[in-house]
Structure 1
Amino acid sequence: MSAAIDSGAAAQDEVVDLLTELIRINTSNPTHVERPAAEWVAAKLDEVGIESRIVEAAPGRASTIARIAGHDSSRPPLLVHGHLDVVPAEAGEWSVDPFAGEVQDGYVWGRGAVDMKNMDAMTLAVVREWARTGRRPARDIVLAFVSDEEGGGALGARYLVNQHADLFADCSEAIGEVGGFSVTLDQGARIYLIQTAEKGINWLRLTASGSPGHGSMVHDDNAVTQLAAAVSRIGAHEFPIVLNDTVRALVDSIAERTGLELDPGQPEKWLHQLGTLSRMIGATIRNTANPTMLRAGYKTNVIPGRAEATIDARYLPGQEHALLAEIDELIGEGIERDFLVRDIAVETSFEGALVDQMAAALRAEDEGAHVAPYLLSGGTDAKSFSTLGIRCFGFTPLLLPAELDFAALFHGIDERVPVSSLQFGVRVLDRFLANC
């Protein structure tokens, strides 16, 4: 047994306790603040002699930052980031209390078990064990446990980048959420998806204006009618397929792993190979726009002079102009469009020493591990950190049961993560961080 596995045994034992404790700190965004969790992280680091700093973007909206010295401090540091906030959970919809951090049937249950207190706990487990045993990483590591990711990061990563860039300015690469997990293909083969790209965000507000009037009369200038037609056109529209380098590389990896001849331009031939993940990956072969909210009127018999809708639009790297042009054509004349949230797309190449170390660490724990890049349909704090010139990857390593619908657990009911997956992740992170 290797030294990495020997020294990681205590971390594997501790990771479940760390995760359950962190889940019990309710950091639902926007109803709760992250300060209690940030203080908990700082205390866990302080217990083993790791100094940290708590930074608040607003009262209670706190992040914890620490730096661990490596053997070669002349190299640019690696940033390891995870967010402390979670989306809210309706307890009545769950099989367990979403904030009890229960362990049942070999799983840790609770809000944040997947998104993304699991990575927070795995990272803490590794660095705490290193501090206890005197081990050090290959290079400096900056740890960032941040607030407000679920709210877009304005009071979290974006604030840190804008106001405290010096904490990260010398970092060259970063790892964070939504990557490094296993996917069992239809053919029975297994691949690990490393996130190298994510879509950009255009959250839009559409506003239609018309002539107010009495609901009993004939009315040909109705803001509600005009807006509803535009929203219907957008909701029914299928954007054209656009295949970027990341998606092509993913399809090539699936083909290599399964032995099948697959054409990236025919997604119906390969998406099903990804099982329950096909819906998420299917959203990365085209731009998307989904109507999400409608607001108009104040009384049944009064035609309002104004109606509003919101659209969640996501664009592939390099496709923002094309997405907005297509939406404007669908909207038509007479409706105003403005941005509620506008954020960049992110993409980096799937190559280099860091990628090699990810693959090596996975293969050391899963001999048949095959890595592939993928593009995330959602967004992460990588958007903010990438603006500092940092290459960002999604790498939260988990070996998952083939039957687990992992994608459905993000923001889902009965969110949970296998204990064995957490222990696997600790072992992989231990190897990776020690050698990267």
Structure 2
Amino acid sequence: MSDDAQQPTSASGAAERRSAPDADVVEICRDLIRIDTTNFGEDREGPGERDAAEYVAGLLSEAGLEPQVFEAEHRRTSVVARWEGSDPDADPLLVHGHLDVVPAMAADWSVDPFAGEIKDGCLWGRGAVDMKDFDAMVLSVLRARARDGRPPRRPVVLAFTADEEAGSRKGAHWLVDKHPELLAGCTEAVGEVGGFSLTVRDDLRLYPVQTAEKGMAWMRLRARGTAGHGSMRNDDNSVTELAAAVARIGAHKWPTRLTPSVRAFLAEASEALGVDLDPDSGDVESTLTRLGTVSRMIGATLSNTANPTMLDAGYKANVIPGEATATIDGRFVPGGDEEFLATIDELIGDKVTREMLNYDVAPETEFAGQLVEAMKSSLVAEDPQGRAVPYLMSGGTDGKAWSRLGMRCFGFAPLKLPADLDFVGMFHGIDERVPTDALEFGARVLDRFLDQA
């Protein structure tokens, strides 16, 4: 830990002893990982977020806050609390993290995904980076500041939500619909996914801050045909029609569509790499590979995408079914929704219909303002070789819900990572893990950020 984070100087010149903001972060993250909050989606009931929400509410209460616990459905639990700031006239800042995690198949892992094991300098487990790490940072910083009587500069609304991994309908969206008064006055929000380091060279690390995220269009395609015996000719086969539509979607080459956030990232990456990332050259993605595995995420932001993910048809080998369905994970860039849907309709043709399973917006904001300056300075204070840059995230977050209330949403969960760690692969991946020193780094950055935000 840096000395100035431990012992700032008072107006009289004497060194003030402060509680370490990173003191509890590893243990809190470990505790959260050990609480199974698997979200299986609509088709299968899971344990819910209740136990984790009660754990979080307990820590908030110990810190002197008055948490409120809400359930959209049985055990689908979110927690909200207000943390008063030293400047009561400032607009409140929303700091949010979700409590649910995607499923983990224990047989695929080298450790128990819910044991919170520490080995090789990392904390392992489902949720270690998505996103119980940031939840733990927030709670560790809160506890340290509560011990010292140090409020943040501006009021902070803390929200720990359910159901983010299935589209936030039972979490953030539910809170916006049912309890918008809890978020009154919040003009900006900070959560996942951003603030993690990309090592360009020994003296430069980029820290992408999410300023935009792609929209979501999860769709079910349905083809209907004439059922019959599998030995007969059939020119109205639902499986054939569906398979052709799915193949067209899977093979489609989406045109490049660059948003302001992507152009800003490419400009920063061009300078850092010492190359000209011309978006019209057709060679951007190959150059981005020099940034490591994150190039997969960045590459997905250069255009709309649509990936077939599920197929369902038939019930017996010798029966041609009358219906076949497929699921498509569609993502569109900010401003690209109309083009995306028109293209999908063209690709599926006249004999296949689509229904929307989950559709949500693609928010985008500027990489400017006091909040952004606070991110930049707090990162550089802990990593002088670091530089914050904006980027568009290929996935989605609770920010989609908060943006409905007019908030500017950012992804800023700071982590200083080893250059060889496949961090992008940790999201929803096998053997998800986060370095313990990166957790501590993040807590220190967040502590500085709350003084300036």
TM-score band, normalised by shorter chain: over 0.9
Greater shift, 204-213 or 357-366, is seen at: 204-213
Aligned equivalents of 2:54 and 2:327: distance in 1? 36
Correspondence 1:152-191 to 2 at 5 A:
152-185=167-200, 189-191=204-206
Q: State the secondary structure of the residue aligned to 2:24.
A: helix
Alignment equivalent of 1:43, drawn from 53, 58, 76: 58
Give 2:313's match in structure 1, choosing from 286, 289, 296: 296
Q: Does 1:59 align with 2:74?
A: yes
2:386 and 2:19 map into 1 onto residues whose CA distance is 22
Q: Verify: 1:219 aligned to 2:234, yes or no.
A: yes
- How far the C-alpha of 1:344 sits from its partner, in A, is 0.6
2:354 alignment counterpart: 337
2:184 alignment partner AA: A
Distance in 1 separating the partners of 2:19 and 2:147: 12
Work out the CA distance in 2 between the residues paired with 1:41 and 1:279. 34
Letter in 2 for 1:312: D
Question: Which residue number corresponds to residue 402 of structure 1?
Answer: 419
Distance 1:144 1:8, change over 3 A: farther
The answer for the alignment partner of 1:382 in structure 2 is 399
Matched residues in 1 for 2:419 and 2:307: separation? 30
For 2:126, the equivalent position in structure 1 comes to: 111
Deviations 1:344-374 (A, max 9, x none): 1110011111101100000001112111111
Tell me by how many angstroms 1:102 deviates. Answer: 1.1
Q: Does 1:243 align with 2:253?
A: no
CA distance in structure 2 between the aligned counterparts of 1:270 and 1:185, rounded to whole angstroms: 13
Query: 14-23 or 48-57, which moves further after superposition?
Result: 48-57
Output the amino acid matched with 1:284: T
1:197 alignment partner, SS class? strand
In the alignment, which residue of structure 2 is the partner of 1:17?
27
Q: Is the 8 A contact 2:214 2:394 kept in 1?
A: yes
Task: Report the Cα offset of residue 5 of structure 1.
Answer: 3.5
SS of alignment partner, residue 386 of structure 2: coil
**Residue in structure 2 matching 1:81, options 88, 91, 96:** 96
AA at the equivalent of 2:37: T
Q: Could you list the runs of 5+ residues in structure 2 that have no partner in the other structure?
A: 8-16, 41-45
State how far apart, in whole Å, the 2-side matches of 1:394 and 1:268 are.
23
Alignment-derived partner of residue 245 in structure 2: 230
The sequence identity of aligned pairs, in percent, is: 57
Give the aligned residue type for 1:399: K
- Tell me, in whole angstroms, the C-alpha distance in 2 between the residues paired with 1:11 and 1:137: 13
Match of 1:353 in 2: 370
Query: TM-score scaled to structure 1, two decimals?
Result: 0.97
* RMSD between aligned residues: 1.4
Question: Which residue in 2 is equivalent to 1:134?
Answer: 149
Please state how far the C-alpha of 1:2 moved relative to its aligned partner: 6.2
CA contact (8 A) 1:263 1:269 kept: no
C-alpha separation between the residues in 2 aligned to 1:187 and 1:255?
17
Instruction: Give, in angstroms, the shift of residue 184 of structure 1.
Output: 1.4
**Which residue type is aligned with residue 134 of structure 2?**
M
Displacement of 1:298 after TM fit? 1.4
TM-score, with normalisation over the residues of structure 2? Answer: 0.94
For the Cα contact (< 8 Å) 2:285–2:295, is it kept in 1? no
2:107 equivalent to 1:92: yes
On the 8 A contact 1:147/1:156 being kept in 2, the answer is: yes
Question: Which residue of the partner structure matches residue 410 of structure 2?
Answer: 393
How many Å apart are 1:269 and its aligned residue? 5.2
Q: 2:163 aligns with which of 145, 148, 153?
A: 148
288-297 vs 392-401, greater mean Cα deviation: 288-297
Q: Distance in 2 between matches of 1:392 and 1:114?
A: 19
Deviations 1:92-147 (A, max 9, x none): 11111111111111111111110000000000000111011110111101100111
CA distance in 1, matches of 2:380, 2:49: 36
SS in 2 for 1:347: coil
Q: Report the Cα distance in structure 1 between the residues aligned to 2:286 and 2:318, rounded to whole angstroms.
A: 52
Residue 21 of structure 2: SS of its match in structure 1?
Answer: helix
CA contact (8 A) 1:5 1:427 kept: no
Q: Label 1:249 to 1:187 Cα distance change in 2 as closer, same or farther (>3 A).
A: farther
Q: Any conservation in 2 of the 1:71–1:138 contact (CA below 8 Å)?
A: yes
Which residue of structure 2 aligns with residue 34 of structure 1? 49
1:413, CA displacement in angstroms?
0.7
Amino acid in the other structure paired with 2:350: E
- Whichever residue aligns with residue 236 of structure 1, its letter is A
- Whole-angstrom CA distance in 1 between matches of 2:276 and 2:225: 55
Alpha-carbon distance change, 401 to 232 in structure 1, aligned in 2, over 3 angstroms: same
What aligned pairs does 1:275-294 form with structure 2 within 5 A after superposition?
A: 275-294=292-311
Classify the secondary structure of the residue corresponding to 1:185. Answer: strand
Cα distance per residue 1:389-434 (max 9 Å; x no partner): 1100000000000000000000111111001101110110000011
Give, in whole Å, the separation in 2 of the partners of 1:167 and 1:312: 32
2 CA distance for matches of 1:190 and 1:265? 26
Contact 1:199/1:284 (8 A) holds in 2? yes
